[in-house]
Amino acid sequence: MVTILRTIAQQLLSRTTFSTLAIDRASDAVVDTIGCMIAGRRDESVAALTRAFDGEIAGGGQARLITGGLASPSLAALINATAAHALDFDDNFHPARAHASAVLVPALLAVLTRGKVTSGRRFLEAYLAGLEAQAAVGFGVNPSHYNRGWHATATVGSIGAAAGVARLLGADEECLAAAMSLATSFACGPKGQFGTSAKPLHAGIAARNAVDAARMALAGMSGRPDILERPQGFLDLFGGDDAKGWEGLTFAEEHIIESRGVVTKRHPCCASTHRAIDALLDLKQEHGLLADDIAGIETKVGISAVRNLAYPEPTDEMQARFSMQYCLATAFLKGSLSLSDFTRHQIERPEIREFMPCIEMQSYSAEEERGVERLPHVVTVTTRDGRILSKSRLHAKGSLEAPMSDHERKVKFMDCLQWANRRNSEAFFQQLRALADFESLSCDTTLWNVISEATELPDDG
């Protein structure tokens, strides 16, 4: 009997060619993630990790850190992925219900150690393999797994990323399946940690676990190839009440990044707020609304979104990223959201705090959500003169259905550099976008040299 992990491994190894569109979208995702890594490199969550592992940084390390210095591949994956997710500005991937790239990209970078050289094209192909594996694992358990309270970035994301890392390291079918099997034994991450520094740590743990699982598999460690579907396996323990399993899992000729894509974030906060933010900004623009016009704002969102957004009155910048009230109030009053809106000082602005009480949030019922993959988020504005204005959004800005332009991607990247106190270099952005043409990647060659141009400048650069 062919197990699910074997089926996924066979698919990943049989897909030997990728369209230009798939490679281009993978490159965009990698560049976006690197921007988020640079922006998050000085976040307190990253600083805490560097303090915790200070004695293991530099020395004889073989993998590069976004904070500077060298470490083991495991530690590099942990720190770099935590940086990538620290500001909640990294992409989402709906089939996995995960922050796919924040796990995948740092994990793949971590195994580009001295003596491990690859090409930009092969790096992107490994990224695409990991993304496809995440989608396939997520197919059987989501959205039930996510709604049950598991942070799929740290569970589904890690299992899929292990396959991407194993492919980059040249694994065969047996090793690919073993890497994913071992990664299920590392699965962890409760969504109850949202709004704390443990949340970005989940991405770091997932990337570290992916690296460790792949390297262990290549060294001969193995797990059950049927661990996803068997009794006391991943589906049984992690699936939740409504998980459907993998019957019906198929792979299209086009890659999942072509049919579903990743959602590049327009706003640096929890994705559960994004469709409501976009809908409110649409209403503001369409009707010329001002703050004095507003009597009340109501949002209707998914059950998981309400659970994720647990901070109606945030007390710090991390909680603010998981507050519908703060994000909507700030977006409406400013017309946009940027990284600079999420600091201790900014979240206490009087005009924001005075506006927040007019914002209410409710969820769909369990019956409304049953059997439906995705429902629109709805924003209803009541004006002081009695008008009732409503807007729904099924897809956030940055999705395939509402894509960001090249200019918008560049603006976001520059915002990340500015946040990190680095020079805004369009040339740097364009260099990274040519990743598919890089002939040699390792911790000492082109890719990291380009990244270092942004990360090693003086703070006043």
Q: What is the CATH number of the domain that holds 366?
A: 3.30.1330.120
Residue 14 is given by DSSP the state H
- The answer as to whether 441 is a domain residue is no
Residue 319 CA to residue 331 CA, distance in Å, equals 16
Whether cis (ω within 30° of 0) applies to the bond prior to 95 is no
Please, which pLDDT band fits residue 454 given cuts at 50, 70 and 90? low
C-beta neighbour count of 185 within 10 angstroms: 14
Residues 314 and 288 in one domain: yes
Q: Of 349, 373, 393, which residue constitutes the final position of a domain? A: 393
- The answer as to whether 96 is a domain residue is yes
The torsion of the CA quartet 155, 159, 164, 165, rounded to 10 degrees, works out to 90
Tell me what pLDDT residue 455 has: 60
DSSP reduced 3-state for 209: helix
pLDDT at residue 457 is higher than 70? no
pLDDT at residue 109 is higher than 80? yes
Residues 6+ apart with CB under 8 A from 329: 352, 355, 356, 359
Q: What are phi and psi for residue 382, nearest 5 degrees?
A: -105, 125
Tell me what pLDDT residue 40 has: 96
pLDDT at residue 15 is higher than 80? yes
Q: How many residues does the chain have?
A: 461
Tell me what pLDDT residue 1 has: 75
Q: What percent of the chain has pLDDT over 70?
A: 96
The torsion of the CA quartet 449, 452, 453, 456, rounded to 10 degrees, works out to -150
Q: Of 340, 360, 393, which residue constitutes the final position of a domain? A: 393
- The answer as to whether 131 is a domain residue is yes
Contact 195, 318 (CB under 8 A): yes
Tell me what pLDDT residue 459 has: 46
pLDDT single digits (tens) 22-51? 999 999 999 999 999 999 999 999 999 999
- The answer as to whether 439 is a domain residue is no
Residues 131 and 175 in one domain: yes
Residues 6+ apart with CB under 8 A from 256: 95, 131, 132, 135
Q: What is the CATH number of the domain that holds 194?
A: 1.10.4100.10
Domain that holds residue 338: 271-393
Residues 245 and 352 in one domain: no
Residues 6+ apart with CB under 8 A from 201: 45, 49, 82
Determine the average pLDDT of the residues in 175-180: 98
Q: At what angle do helices 44-52 and 73-85 cross, to 10 degrees?
A: 160
Lowest mean pLDDT among 68-77, 325-334, 350-359, 414-423: 414-423
Q: Of 259, 285, 300, which residue constitutes the final position of a domain? A: 259
Contact 322, 195 (CB under 8 A): yes
pTM of the model: 0.94
